[in-house]
Amino acid sequence: MPVSLSFRLDGKVALVTGASRGLGAGIADALQEAGATVAGTSREPKSAAQVAKRLGSVPVVMDVTDVASVRAGVDRVASEFERLDILVNNAGLNIPQGVFDVDEASWDAVLDANLKGTFFAAQAAARHMVASGDGGRIINVTSQAGVVGIEERSAYGASKGGAVLLTKVLAIELAQHGITVNAVAPTFVATELARGTLENPEWRERILSRIPLGRVGEVEDVAAATLYLASPAAAMVTGHTLLVDGGWTAW
């Protein structure tokens, strides 16, 4: 089989969860720029409408912690565009807490958003991909915290580590259907979600001291990695976690 070096996504339909801001917005824009028709989700109807207007798509209200909401959102996109080729599981949550401060509600909220939501969105999308017979791409936005321990992130690290292993299991099971499943694992990225941590001088110094490239990530860094995994150029890549961490985990 000839190897494709194309990063174009013309004719493909993509769904990006949590696309109203930050990584999700950047990833959705990158996929659209590469030629895909892109729908993005948000938990709030007003925000979902804004995402749809920006992408020229349909509004998709989705709460990734609610399985019925996840299935309805995925089904809507597949029905509206008569196919679904790419799913990017981006929506997630982090509640930084020290080990003695973690409470049950926070633990459940983080695991539900980052792990349960990822699985059931992948399950719903894969059903449409299998039914189409055209294969597909599933990309899970995990974190370097799923590969290496980071203080004050017990629940977050557990959820992202689970998502890394989930990526491998899904890749094995779905390969027979021509569906690749991979993950992108960023370091700290300059987004609104990370602002509080990055504006803390002690934390910023700690973070930069662990990144050999000497800077935090930008949204474009993660969007580019995601685009690669969604593209024909990554046809032989599955079950892999692509670290976008500036060398943090190379120590």
Minimal CA–CA distance to 189: which of 197, 178, 201, 200? 197
HEC string for 121-157: HHHHHHHHHHHHCCCEEEEEECCHHHCCCCCCEHHHH
Give me the catalytic one of 81, 119, 120, 156.
156
Q: Where are the alpha helices (DSSP H) in the chain?
A: 22-33, 45-55, 67-81, 104-111, 117-132, 154-174, 195-198, 201-209, 219-230
Active-site residue flag, 228: no
Residue 174 CB-density burial (10 A; 0-12 exposed, 13-18 middle, 19+ buried): buried
Catalytic residue annotation: 156
